[in-house]
């Protein structure tokens, strides 16, 4: 991979394709030169969450027609036009779990320099070159994990139980959101090597954090986020949070560089930004 790159992962879900088509055009508009790599996983949509089909019911058909692309061939054409490095993935090292986030395990087969990993439900409003310099003293930088209820944001610390060598440690910490992450050096490759094992240990209650994970979400669909936090803790990675004027979850401001909407809030924020003329049309 090139120095200072940005990375997306996408599968064959048309809804995720549409989100990506919005995100990547806002990103490339403000970052015309930074290298971007898209890992496109040909999974026949097996890893997608069935609830994604409900996300766009609140969005105006006019907006979806003006700003979104749903078909794989249209995504590939867009990627070519925007000078994005496309890597197709045809084989995954696990049986489908209907959980797209564990596809991040594919990173173990690739080398990276400093990288910003972006979820598809993100928007970009200015150059992000400064992030690589501003946060260069850290190996991992992300936003705090937040809860969103009826438009109200809450931040709450979490009780982490994790391994420090052979010892079991307990700390109450503000957790990270893994939707926008700055990874220093080749650390993203190392995360790719470990994320699948972390997720499976959490899913099958083989890690002491499993009970807390299931208490927060009964279906365990937060396991990659918990896995990411455990990876940082158990590998003693030097970390920090993004400043809120640089990268934010849900809270939009004019000077923001990157906004992570989260899937549940995507319809509202997408519609707001479309109305305000902040998006790039088809």
Length of the chain: 282
CATH number assigned to the domain with residue range 5-143+177-205+238-275, chosen from the 4 options 3.90.550, 3.30.870, 1.10.3710, 2.30.29: 3.90.550
DSSP assignment letter at 217: -
pLDDT at 72 over 70: yes
58 has pLDDT over 90: no
User: What's the average model confidence in pLDDT over 17-45?
Assistant: 96
Domain map (residue ranges) of the chain: 5-143+177-205+238-275
Please check whether residue 16 is in contact with residue 52, taking contact to mean a CB–CB distance below 8 angstroms: yes
Residue 44, SS3 per DSSP = coil
Q: Decide if pLDDT at 151 tops 80.
A: no
Which of 70-79, 93-102, 234-243 shows the lowest mean pLDDT across its residues?
Answer: 93-102
- Helix/strand/coil for 181: strand
């Amino acid at each position: 991979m090139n120095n200072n790159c940005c990375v997306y992962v996408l599968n064959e879900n048309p809804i995720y394709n549409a989100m990506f088509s919005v995100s990547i055009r806002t990103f490339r508009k403000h970052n015309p030169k930074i290298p971007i790599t898209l890992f496109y996983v040909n999974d026949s949509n097996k890893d997608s969450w069935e609830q994604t089909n409900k996300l766009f019911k609140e969005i105006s058909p006019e907006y979806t027609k003006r700003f979104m692309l749903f078909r794989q061939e249209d995504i590939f054409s867009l990627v070519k036009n925007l000078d994005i490095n496309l890597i197709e993935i045809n084989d995954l090292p696990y049986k489908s779990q209907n959980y797209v986030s564990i596809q991040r395990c594919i990173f173990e087969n690739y080398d990276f320099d400093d990288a910003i990993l972006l979820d598809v439900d993100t928007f970009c409003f200015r150059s992000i070159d400064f992030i690589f310099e501003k946060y260069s003293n850290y190996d991992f930088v992300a936003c705090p994990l937040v809860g969103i209820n009826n438009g109200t944001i809450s931040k709450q610390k979490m009780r982490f139980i994790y391994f420090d060598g052979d010892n079991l440690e307990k700390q109450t910490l503000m957790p990270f959101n893994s939707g926008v992450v700055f990874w220093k050096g080749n650390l993203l490759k190392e995360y790719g090597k470990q994320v699948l094992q972390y997720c499976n240990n959490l899913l099958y209650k083989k890690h002491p954090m499993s009970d807390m994970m299931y208490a927060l979400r009964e279906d365990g669909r937060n396991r990659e986020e918990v896995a990411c936090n455990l990876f940082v803790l158990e590998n003693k990675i030097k970390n920090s949070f993004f400043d809120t004027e640089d990268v934010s979850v849900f809270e939009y401001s004019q000077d923001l560089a990157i906004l992570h909407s989260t899937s549940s809030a995507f319809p509202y924020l997408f519609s707001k930004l479309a109305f305000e003329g902040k998006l790039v049309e088809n």
